[in-house]
């Protein structure tokens, strides 16, 4: 069956659930209420080896692929979606290194990430635009054995935190070649000319710091160019497609959390002398959400299988990301509605879910971008 877990996947799920329930759930609300990055909890999570779930054993990973990574993201999100965000945003730079870097680069940069020694951030979006790669302005000028980077990136999650060790960034190396003139670089923290801005307060991903990256005559050795010069566009598209599976899994976990909270509150509440779920006005929308949760799980698992098997998967991942992130918003909305007036009070966990869901509908390509990707199927021969 498509949803059956292997023995290794079952062990993984049980281990992540143990961390999420025993360590994350009791402590995370205080961090979220204060919009504070949970350094010690993340360090503990790193020490358990979960960051290496998707990556090959030779790099120190567990070799469980995108299927395994999606399990981690969903389980974390069912307790705290913004903790899952820390995980999925670390996965993007790890993915681009795992898929395109040299063996030496993998030993130097991927292995420590798999071991949980540090975390990374991904730099694609800029103040001038996000999904439109033609708008990228960060310039990398060749200078002897180095490239000199000038420009900035925004919304780089995990950067600037106490555990941040490196960023992978997309820059223009050959402006006359258009989209084929983009390349990816590994930029470690501490590189002269590389700095980060201050984290802002967000309506979602409250514990996952997102900042601006600045490059001011930042000299990066050619040995830190990932893959071949000019391969950046291909690397972006593949990495974002895999990332969309993890965003979808996070949305699925959020939807499950919303239903957990709705059922726990609604089962003890009466309206007009009847249990609240006896009223079709609430019971039927909840039934729709439960149905969509099952559909989302199937879509996520299918797209992860396609990714891990090396088959074409871009359209399917966009479908999964679109469906699951929109579902997260629907589930959050009905869960707040079940709580009535209490649902808008920050003392209740359900109050944060609408903001968390909205972030998922924007990151890794907005819902509109996903529909554009999917709509191309209508005109492709």
Q: Are residues 115 and 127 in the same domain?
A: no
> Where does the pLDDT of residue 371 fall: very low under 50, low under 70, confident under 90, or very high at 90 and above?
very high
Q: How many CB atoms lie within 10 A of CB 291?
A: 10
* Nearest of 277, 319, 356 to residue 78 by alpha carbon: 356
pLDDT(211) > 90: yes
Question: Which one, of 207, 187, 56, 37, lies nearest residue 122 by Cα?
Answer: 187
Is the domain of 270 the same as that of 364? yes
Indicate the residue among 119, 138, 154 that finishes a domain: 119
Do 25 and 115 sit in the same domain of this protein? yes
SS3 labels along the chain: CCCCCCHHHHHHHHHHHHHHHHHHHHHHHHHHHCCCCCHHHHHHHHHCCHHHCCCCHHHCCCCCHHHHHHHHHHHHHHHCHHHHHHHHHHHHHHHHHHHHCCHHHHHHHHHHHHCCCCEEEEECCECCECCCHHHCCCEEEEECCEEEEEEEEEEEECCCCCCEEEEEEEEECCHHHHHHHEEEEEEECCCCCEEECCCCCCCCCCCCCEEEEEEEEEEEEHHHEECCCCCHHHHHHHHHHHHHHHHHHHHHHHHHHHHHHHHHHHCCCEECCEEHHHCHHHHHHHHHHHHHHHHHHHHHHHHHHHHHCCCCCHHHHHHHHHHHHHHHHHHHHHHHHHHHHHHHCCCCHHHHHHHHHHHHCCCCCCHHHHHHHHHHHHCCC
Q: Which of 18-27, 130-139, 237-246 has the lowest mean pLDDT?
A: 130-139
Taking the C-alpha atoms of residue 287 and residue 293, their distance in angstroms, rounded to an integer, is: 10
298 within a domain of the structure (yes/no): yes
Shared domain for 210 and 276, answered yes or no, is: no
Mean pLDDT confidence for 258-283: 80
Question: Which token pair is 323?
Answer: 């469906």
Percentage with pLDDT > 70 across the chain: 96
Separation between Cα atoms, residue 255 and residue 356, nearest integer Å: 11
Q: Give residue 162's pLDDT.
A: 97
Strand partners, 20: none
In a domain, 209, yes or no: yes
The whole-number pLDDT of residue 270 equals 67
Residue 131 has pLDDT above 70, yes or no: no
Looking at the structure, tell me whether residues 106 and 124 fall in a common domain: no
Q: How far apart are CA 328 and CA 335, in angstroms?
A: 10
Q: Would the pLDDT of 381 be above 60?
A: no
Given a cut of 80, whether residue 356 has pLDDT beyond it is yes
The pLDDT value given to residue 315: 95
* Per-residue pLDDT reduced to its tens digit, 59-103: 999 999 999 999 999 999 999 999 999 999 999 999 999 999 999
For residue 130, the model assigns a pLDDT of 64
Please count the structural domains in the chain.
Answer: 3
pLDDT confidence of residue 277: 76
The per-residue pLDDT for 78 is 98
Whether residue 253 sits in one domain with residue 219: no
Mean pLDDT, range 304-328, rounded to an integer: 96
Residues 26 and 132 in one domain: no
Q: HEC profile for 326-360?
A: HHHHHHHHHHHHHHHHHHHCCCCHHHHHHHHHHHH
Same-domain check for residues 237 and 373: yes
- HSE of 377, CA atoms in CB hemisphere, 13 A: 12
Q: How many residues does the chain have?
A: 381
The pLDDT confidence band at residue 266, using thresholds 50, 70 and 90, is: confident
Picking from 24, 121, 123, the residue whose alpha carbon sits closest to that of residue 81 is 24
Question: 266 and 314 in one domain?
Answer: yes
**pLDDT, average across residues 216-244:** 96
Residues involved in catalysis: 364
* 192 is a domain residue: yes
In a domain, 13, yes or no: yes
- Looking at every residue in the chain, the average pLDDT score rounds to 94
pLDDT on residue 145: 97
Question: What is the CATH classification number for the domain harbouring 287?
Answer: 1.20.140.10
CA 7 to chain centre: 25
Neighbours of 121 (CB within 10 A): 29
Taking every pair of Cα atoms in the chain, the longest distance, rounded to a whole number of angstroms, is 79
Asked if the structure places residue 149 within a domain, the reply is: yes
Q: Binning pLDDT at 50, 70 and 90, where does residue 271 land?
A: low
Please check whether residue 307 lies inside any domain of the structure: yes
Nearest CA to 141 out of 161, 116, 171 is that of 171
d(CA 56, CA 10): 18
Does the pLDDT at position 288 exceed 60?
Answer: yes
CATH number of the domain residue 183 falls in: 2.40.110.10
Residues 189 and 263 in one domain: no
pTM: 0.95
Domain boundary among 96, 119, 142: 119
Asked which of 215, 230, 245 is the last residue of a domain, the reply is 230
User: How large is the average pLDDT for residues 37-49?
Assistant: 97
State the first-to-last Cα distance of the chain, in angstroms, to the nearest integer: 32
Of residues 130 and 185, more confidence is placed in 185
Q: Is residue 1 in a domain?
A: no
As a whole number, mean pLDDT of residues 2-15 equals 93
Q: What pLDDT is stored for residue 1 in this prediction? A: 58
Amino acid 128: pLDDT: 79
β-bridge partners, 140: 149
Pair 208, 257 in one domain: no
The residue ranking higher by pLDDT, 295 or 135, is 295
Claim to verify: residue 209 and residue 252 sit in the same structural domain = no
Is the predicted pLDDT of residue 42 greater than 90, yes or no? yes
CATH number at residue 44: 1.10.540.10
Range of the domain at 152: 120-230
Q: Is the pLDDT of residue 275 over 80?
A: no
Residue 173 forms part of a structural domain: yes
């Amino acid at each position: 069956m498509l949803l059956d877990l292997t023995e290794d996947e079952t062990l993984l799920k049980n281990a992540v659930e143990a961390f999420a329930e025993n360590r994350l759930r009791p402590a995370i609300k205080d961090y979220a209420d204060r919009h504070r990055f949970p350094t010690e909890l993340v360090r503990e999570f790193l020490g358990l080896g979960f960051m290496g779930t998707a990556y090959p054993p030779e790099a120190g990973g567990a070799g469980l692929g995108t299927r395994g990574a999606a399990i981690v993201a969903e389980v974390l999100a069912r307790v705290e979606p913004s903790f899952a965000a820390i995980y999925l945003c670390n996965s993007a730079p790890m993915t681009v290194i795992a898929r395109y870097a040299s063996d030496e680069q993998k030993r130097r940069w991927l292995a420590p990430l798999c071991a949980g020694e540090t975390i990374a951030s991904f730099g694609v979006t800029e103040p001038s635009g996000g999904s439109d790669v033609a708008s990228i302005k960060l310039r990398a000028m060749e200078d002897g054995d180095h490239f000199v980077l000038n420009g900035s990136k925004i919304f780089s999650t995990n950067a600037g935190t106490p555990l941040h060790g490196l960023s992978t960034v997309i820059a223009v190396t050959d402006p006359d070649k258009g989209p084929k003139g983009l390349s990816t670089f590994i930029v470690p923290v501490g590189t002269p000319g590389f700095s980060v801005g201050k984290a802002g307060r967000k309506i979602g991903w409250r514990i996952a710091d997102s900042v601006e990256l600045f490059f001011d005559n930042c000299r990066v050795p050619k040995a830190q160019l990932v893959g071949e010069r000019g391969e950046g566009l291909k690397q972006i598209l593949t990495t974002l497609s895999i990332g969309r599976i993890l965003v979808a899994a996070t949305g699925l976990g959020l939807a499950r959390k919303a239903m957990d909270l709705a059922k726990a509150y609604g089962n003890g509440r009466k309206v007009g002398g009847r249990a609240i779920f006896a009223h079709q006005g609430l019971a039927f929308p909840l039934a729709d959400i439960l149905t969509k949760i099952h559909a989302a799980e199937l879509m996520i698992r299918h797209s992860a299988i396609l990714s891990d098997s090396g088959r074409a998967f871009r359209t399917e991942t966009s479908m999964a990301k679109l469906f699951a992130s929109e579902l997260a918003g629907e589930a959050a909305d009905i869960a707040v509605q079940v709580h009535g007036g209490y649902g808008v009070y920050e003392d209740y966990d359900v109050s944060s879910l609408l903001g968390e869901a909205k972030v998922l509908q924007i990151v890794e390509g907005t819902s509109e971008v996903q529909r554009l990707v999917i709509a191309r199927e209508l005109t492709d021969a």
